[in-house]
């Protein structure tokens, strides 16, 4: 690795030029990467809700529905507005009263269910059918255009409207996320490093790696808005300690008299060897997310694993080049680090290790209980600011029409009208079902078959399927709504075992079931992979159990706190945070344990070895943890998107909790299990025996000579 370091030092100017040039295609790639705001598209494609959506698109040319509420308009004005909306590209059909009756016929002539579905006081409702799915570009553009031609008495409700609000809010906040992360990280580094300029050099190097990572996302086709929002902040937090390690190593070699270029070459070699193990555990945590059947995990996992790799490469190529180029300026801005050395912390912890064990014992049960009982939510729209247009429209739908969501039932077209009507009557008897509308539910004395226009018929029936719309007063993801869906599916299956209930609420119910399984899978894989890596690094049987147990204890505390504060977490939080906190902060434990093993191998007694390891590693761990905290905490406080805010707060808190666990709980465990560690760590037991034998011989020699 020394030769690699020499090459980097020699080629520092070409490396910086190439690094700057690569920013151009990376920026273009970033700008051209599509961002997806619909969480439901990440569901497995083999479940009924996804298969039904594809059939709806392929056979009916229909991808999404939206409710459109109009207040205070005459029937003629509403009809004119309906006609204008139907001219919007990607609007396939707008269903309203005049879709089945001429305006000259009083609305009261409609069947009672149909009348109530479309009217409430001076408000009337239309159903807009789009020819693309909820989050496709055509549907989004159409929804934006509908908003433009609407006035303050018109309200577009539904998933697409919510996605537009989320996109606009996310795009507005994203630059501020970066700004806050950079500002707070700069403050932390300024307080903990010994040069005012070095934080900016670090951030410039990591910033380039972040841009490369975001730019190469274009090869993935698209990324989720969650990934887009978190990638830069998270990459900054988890790769900053690589830069800190390089800087400290470089300064060490300068202090022992090495020339500048040789000191950097040696520092690069040391850093590369050290951060390989650290980066592998972090990457393993992110790779574990890729095993989720809910493929948002794959999206985030691939991007962040890639980001760590870019961070490693940047740290051993771009950062050394920048430090050497700006060496004089870095020296002129030197100052005494404001973070204290915390002298004596190693001996304090080892002296009071029983106190830390007592803390562990006292917190374990409540942490586990809170961890297992923290509540989650799945309807992300409910946590958006109340003043957003889509949220206002959804609330209006609930308040005026007592309706929260619409299910879509796809059933065989051969089912006879009388059976459809009988099925419809059964479904209307289910709690929370407002109405069931379809061609065969509207037929009868009040609306003969001949009254159904052909263009309306083709939107609800073809040679294979017929569609029914089911209005529900229950909110998506609620227990009542999920129970209602089960009952609706049970009734539908009695008439057609191949029937499918689709839409936002059924898909969200599938999301709940899918992520519940994913949680166990991802946790098992992440713990297993990191356990194996620690096993290989230390060649020890006991240490993987100890290190993973310490970090998992921190995770239990972090994810258990919301239970005691009465906070609900977004469904993805428990899956993502567990793997991120384990993968990124187990590095703290590895750093400390590496020094402990080195001291024990050199002949130190257990208390001295543990005290030395804690004393030597605490400052580096503190800088890394506080930088991670700074990169995420500000975003967590600022963001109005609760999913982003919750994840960032959890990551920030997790870094600090893991810091406390490694500095306090890990030494206590090592004090107790030192004998087991020595016996089960390859080479350590033999070296200990050899040292004891050597000591015995020396004592014998002293006695013999005395």
**Ranges 179-188, 395-404, 597-606, 679-688: which has the least confidence:** 679-688
Instruction: Name the phi and psi angles at 203, rounded to 5.
Output: -65, -35
Is the pLDDT score of 122 beyond 90? Answer: no
Q: Where are the domains of the chain?
A: 1-32+182-332, 59-165, 344-373+539-681, 391-509
Assess whether pLDDT exceeds 70 at residue 333: yes
Cβ proximity of 424 and 430 under 8 Å: no
Mean pLDDT of 184-201: 85
Q: What sign results for the dihedral spanned by CA atoms 448, 452, 454, 456? A: negative
What digits encode the pLDDT tens for the residues 61-95?
887 889 899 998 888 888 899 999 999 999 988 88
Top-level CATH class of 344-373+539-681? Answer: mainly alpha
pLDDT tens digits, 287-302: 888 998 889 889 999 9
pLDDT band for position 328 (50/70/90)? confident
- Where is average pLDDT lowest: 186-195, 337-346, 637-646? 337-346
Residue 685: band (very low, low, confident or very high) from pLDDT cuts 50, 70, 90: low
- Out of 3.30.70, 3.40.390, 2.60.40, 3.30.2450, the CATH code matching 59-165 is 3.30.70
Architecture of the domain delimited by 391-509: 2-Layer Sandwich (3.30)
pLDDT the model gives residue 690? 58
Q: What is the pLDDT of residues 142-172, one digit of tens each?
A: 999 999 998 888 999 988 999 999 989 988 9
pLDDT > 70 fraction of the chain, expressed in percent and rounded: 92
- Residue 85 CA, chain-centre distance (Å), reads 36
| CB count in 10 Å sphere of residue 383 | 16
Please check the confidence at residue 448 and state whether its pLDDT lies above 80: no
Higher pLDDT, 520 or 266: 266
Distance CA 615, CA 617 (A): 6
DSSP code of 76?
H
Q: Is 581 left (phi over 0), alpha (psi -120 to 50) or beta?
A: alpha
Averaged pLDDT, 539-556: 92
168 contact partners, CB below 8 Å, separation of at least 6: none
Spatial contact of 565 and 331, defined as CB atoms under 8 Å apart: no
Report the run of H or E that residue 144 belongs to, with start and end.
Answer: helix 137-149
Task: Please count the other Cβ atoms lying within 10 Å of the Cβ belonging to residue 121.
Answer: 9
Q: Do domains 1-32+182-332 and 391-509 have the same CATH topology?
A: no
What is the total residue count of the chain?
706
Q: In the Cβ-directed half-sphere of 583, how many Cα atoms lie within 13 Å?
A: 33
Give the mean model confidence (pLDDT) for residues 561-583: 87
Two structure tokens written together for 403 = 């309706």
Instruction: State mean pLDDT over 530-558.
Output: 91
pLDDT for residue 142: 94
User: Residue 533: which pLDDT band, with cuts at 50, 70 and 90?
Assistant: confident
**What pLDDT was estimated at residue 445?**
40
> For residue 484, what pLDDT band results from cuts at 50, 70 and 90?
very high
Cα-based torsion angle of the residue sequence 207, 208, 214, 218 in order, rounded to the nearest 10 degrees: 170
pLDDT of residue 436: 87
Which range has the top average pLDDT, 48-52, 191-195, 574-578, 699-703? 48-52
The tokens for 174 are: 């994203």
Does residue 441 register a pLDDT over 80? no
Quick check: 700 pLDDT over 70? no
Digit-coded pLDDT (tens) for 46-70: 888 888 888 888 888 887 889 899 9
Instruction: Evaluate the CA torsion angle 411, 412, 416, 419 in order and state its sign.
Output: negative
* Closest C-alpha among 504, 232, 512 to residue 394: 504
What is the token pair recorded at 117?
A: 């579905």
Using alpha carbons, list the distances in angstroms from residue 250 to 243, 244, 246, 269, 321: 11, 10, 6, 10, 12
Residue 692 has pLDDT above 60, yes or no: no
Comparing C-alpha atoms, which of 289, 239, 265 is closest to residue 10? 265
Whole-number average pLDDT of the chain: 86
Superfamily of domain 1-32+182-332: Multidrug efflux transporter AcrB transmembrane domain (1.20.1640.10)
* Per-residue pLDDT reduced to its tens digit, 647-658: 899 999 999 999
For residue 306, the model assigns a pLDDT of 94
Residue matched to tokens 């469904």: 571
101-115, 237-251, 621-635: range with lowest mean pLDDT: 101-115
376 φψ region: left (φ > 0), alpha (ψ -120 to 50), beta (else): beta
Which pLDDT band, with edges at 50, 70 and 90, does 462 fall under? Answer: confident
pLDDT for the residue numbered 372:
92
Q: What was the pLDDT predicted at 442?
A: 64
> Rounded to an integer, what distance in angstroms lies between the CA atom of residue 51 and that of residue 510?
12
């Amino acid at each position: 690795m020394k030769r690699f370091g020499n090459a980097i030092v020699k080629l520092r100017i070409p490396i910086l030029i190439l690094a700057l040039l690569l920013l151009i295609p990376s920026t273009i790639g970033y700008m051209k990467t599509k961002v997806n705001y619909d969480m439901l598209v990440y569901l497995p494609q083999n479940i009924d809700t996804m298969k039904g959506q594809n059939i709806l698109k392929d056979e009916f040319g229909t991808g999404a529905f939206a409710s459109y509420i109009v207040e205070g308009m005459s029937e003629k004005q509403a009809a004119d507005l309906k006609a204008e909306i139907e001219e919007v590209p990607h609007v396939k059909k707008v269903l309203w009263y005049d879709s089945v009756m001429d305006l000259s016929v009083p609305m009261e002539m409609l069947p009672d269910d149909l009348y109530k579905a479309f009217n409430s006081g001076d408000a009337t409702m239309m159903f807009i059918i789009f020819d693309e799915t909820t989050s496709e570009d055509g549907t989004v553009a159409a929804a934006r255009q509908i908003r433009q031609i609407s006035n303050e008495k018109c309200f577009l409700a539904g998933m697409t409207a919510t996605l537009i609000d989320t996109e606009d809010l996310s795009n507005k906040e994203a630059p501020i996320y970066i700004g806050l992360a950079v500002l707070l990280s700069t403050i932390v580094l300024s307080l903990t490093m010994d040069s005012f300029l070095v934080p900016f050099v670090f951030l410039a190097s990591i910033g380039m790696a972040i841009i490369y990572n975001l730019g190469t996302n274009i090869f993935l086709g698209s990324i989720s808005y969650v990934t887009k929002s978190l990638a830069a902040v998270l990459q900054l937090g988890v790769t900053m300690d690589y830069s800190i390690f390089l800087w400290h190593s470089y300064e060490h070699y300068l202090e022992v008299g090495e020339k500048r270029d040789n000191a950097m070459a040696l520092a690069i070699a040391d850093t590369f060897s050290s951060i390989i193990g650290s980066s592998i555990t972090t990457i393993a945590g992110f790779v574990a997310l890729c095993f989720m059947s809910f493929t948002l995990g794959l999206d985030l996992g691939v991007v962040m694993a890639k980001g760590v790799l870019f961070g490693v490469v940047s740290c051993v190529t771009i950062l050394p080049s920048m430090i050497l180029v700006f060496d004089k300026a870095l020296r002129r801005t030197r100052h005494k680090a404001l973070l204290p050395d915390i002298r004596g912390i190693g001996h304090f912890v080892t002296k009071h290790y029983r106190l830390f064990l007592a803390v562990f014992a006292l917190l374990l049960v409540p942490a586990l209980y809170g961890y297992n009982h923290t509540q989650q939510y799945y309807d992300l729209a409910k946590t958006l600011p109340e003043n957003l247009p889509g949220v206002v429209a959804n609330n209006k739908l609930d308040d005026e029409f007592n309706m929260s969501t619409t299910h879509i039932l796809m059933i065989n077209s051969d089912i006879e009208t009388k059976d459809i009507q009988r099925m419809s009557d059964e479904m209307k008897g289910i709690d929370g079902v407002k109405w069931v509308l379809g061609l065969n539910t509207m037929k009868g004395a009040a609306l003969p078959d001949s009254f159904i226009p052909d263009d309306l018929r083709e939107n609800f029936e073809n040679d294979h399927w017929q569609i029914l719309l089911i209005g529900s007063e229950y909110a998506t993801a609620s227990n009542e709504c999920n129970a209602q869906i089960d009952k609706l599916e049970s009734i539908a299956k009695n008439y057609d075992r191949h029937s499918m209930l689709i839409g936002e609420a059924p898909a969200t119910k599938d999301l709940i079931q899918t992520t519940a399984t994913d949680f166990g899978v991802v946790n098992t894989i992440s713990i297993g992979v990191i356990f194996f890596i620690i096993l290989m690094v230390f060649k020890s049987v006991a240490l993987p159990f100890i290190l993973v147990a310490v970090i998992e204890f921190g995770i239990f505390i972090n994810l258990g706190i919301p239970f005691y504060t009465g906070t609900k977490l977004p469904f993805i939080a428990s899956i993502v945070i567990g793997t991120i906190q384990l993968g990124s902060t187990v590095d703290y434990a590895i750093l400390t344990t590496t020094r402990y093993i080195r001291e024990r191998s050199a002949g130190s007694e257990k208390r001295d070895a543990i005290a030395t390891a804690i004393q030597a590693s605490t400052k580096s761990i503190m800088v890394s943890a506080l930088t991670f905290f700074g990169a995420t905490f500000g975003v967590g406080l600022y963001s109005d998107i609760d999913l982003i805010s919750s994840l960032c707060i959890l990551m920030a808190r997790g870094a600090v909790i893991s810091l406390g666990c490694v500095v306090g709980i890990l030494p206590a465990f090592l004090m107790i299990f030192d004998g087991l560690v020595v016996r089960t760590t390859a080479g350590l037991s033999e070296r200990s025996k050899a040292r004891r034998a050597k000591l015995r011989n020396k004592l014998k020699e002293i006695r013999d000579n005395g």
